[in-house]
Amino acid sequence: MSDPFTLYTARESALHRLHPLTTLSLVAFLFVLSLVLPGVWAPYLLYGAVLLPLALAGGIPGRFLRLSLQAVLPFAISLFLIQGFFWGEGTPILDVGPLSLKSEGLAFAARSTGRILAIVGSFLLLSFTTRPDALMIALSQRGVNDKIAYIMLTTIQIVPRFQAKANAILDAQRSRGLETEGRLGQRLRALLPLVQPLVLGSILDMEERAIALEVRAFGRRGAKTSLAELADTGRQRLARRLLVLAAAAAAAGRLALVFF
């Protein structure tokens, strides 16, 4: 059986031991900061001086760095090429044939790349260090509808099975000589016989799965409890409040800068 569709990596670290909502608040704060920090270099600083050390503390610096760069690189290439060379009115600093590289465009590309890097970094930090089930249970305990937890947790367990099923169907089609490479039309034609069994097969199982859930009182209204106990501390509760306030203040500050 393949692992759930999640990045969570078990480690003995202070970051892993945090209450999931503390990590969530921290990441939300960093996410807002990534969006609102002014200037070109601030997001890089956020990534290098905050996110990367946190990933190091969480015991996952290598994969964190690799996945961040993997996600950001295509954007960076597009940004520097497109906004660098096609920046309407600007100060040319280098001519390449009919095109010229504009310094304003480069600055914009650098700023955007930094922002993407910081955003990607904050999401990755959450995914790497927070058990998805703990996060969902924590949210349910705070009044988020428990059906949301059901959806998120079931999804990450279903996806790997679907991936395996899809690969099996693809292989079967290839062995029957159906083209999955070659011209675009051919590749598109390979699609329907693939999607159909995948979708229809799973849809027919859903009836039984719904009944099984009903048997387990899934549809019962009223208070629900949970087996899992999440360790929490007064200091973490305070930290969460402060982080949420800080995030709100940062967002408000940025809006004030825009409007006044």
Partner 1 sequence: METMQKDFKTMTWVMIPVAIAINIVVGQIIFALKVPLYLDSIGTVLVAVLAGPWAGALTGLLSNLVWGLSGLNVTYAPFAAVGAIIGLVAGLFAEVGWFKMWWKSVLGGVITGLIAALISAPISAYVFGGVTGSGTDVVTAMFRGIGFGILPASFAQGVSSDPLDKAITFIVVYLILRALPLRFLDRFPRGTGAR
Partner 2 sequence: MIEIDDFSFRYPRAEVEALAGIDFTVPAGQLCAVAGANGAGKSTLCYALTGFIPHFYHGDFSGSVRVDGRDVLAEEIAALAGTVGLVFSKPFNQITGARFTVREEIAFGLENLGLPRPEMVERIDEALAVTGLVDLAGRSPYALSGGQQQRLAIASVLAMKPQVLVLDEPTSQLDPVGTREIFALLRRLVGDGETAVVVCTHELEWAAVYADRLLILDRGRLAADGAPVDLLAAAGLVDHGLRPTRYTEAARLAVEQGLAPSGRPLPVTLEQAREFFR
- Residues in contact with partner 2 by CB under 8 A are 1, 4, 133, 149-150, 153-154, 157-158, 161, 205, 208-229
Interface residue with partner 1, options 26, 102, 132, 137 (CB under 8 A): 132
φ, ψ of residue 162 in degrees (nearest 5)? -65, -40
d(CA 231, CA 214): 31
d(CA 159, CA 157): 6
Q: Of the two residues 57 and 153, which places its CB atom closer to partner 2 in the complex? A: 153
Query: H or E element: which one contains 51?
Result: none
Q: How many CB atoms lie within 10 A of CB 10?
A: 9
Interface residue with partner 1, options 2, 78, 91, 233 (CB under 8 A): 78
Interface residue with partner 1, options 147, 174, 224, 241 (CB under 8 A): 147
Near partner 1 in 159-218, by CB under 8 A:
159, 161-163, 166, 170, 180, 184, 187-188, 190-192, 194-196, 198-200, 202-204, 206-207, 209-210, 213-214, 218
Q: Least distance from C-beta 159 to partner 2, angstroms?
A: 11
56, burial (CB in 10 Å: exposed 0-12, middle 13-18, buried 19+): middle
Q: Least distance from C-beta 218 to partner 2, angstroms?
A: 6
SS3 content of the chain, % helix, strand, coil (to 5): 70, 5, 25
Q: Of the two residues 5 and 13, which places its CB atom closer to partner 1 in the complex? A: 5
Q: Of the two residues 184 and 223, which places its CB atom closer to partner 2 in the complex? A: 223
d(CA 67, CA 124): 8
Q: Which of partner 1, partner 2, none does residue 200 bind (CB under 5 to 8 Å by kind)?
A: partner 1
Near partner 1 in 17-76, by CB under 8 A:
35, 67, 71, 73-75
DSSP-assigned letters across all residues of 113-174: HHHHHHHHHHHHHHHHHS-HHHHHHHHHHTT--HHHHHHHHHHHHHHHHHHHHHHHHHHHHH
Near partner 1 in 91-130, by CB under 8 A:
108-109, 111-113, 115-116, 119-120, 123-124, 126-128
Q: Of the two residues 102 and 240, which places its CB atom closer to partner 1 in the complex? A: 102
Task: Return the closest-CA partner of residue 161 out of 204, 192, 207, 202.
Answer: 202
Near partner 1 in 218-237, by CB under 8 A:
218-219
d(CA 246, CA 236): 15
Interface residue with partner 1, options 45, 158, 168, 242 (CB under 8 A): 158
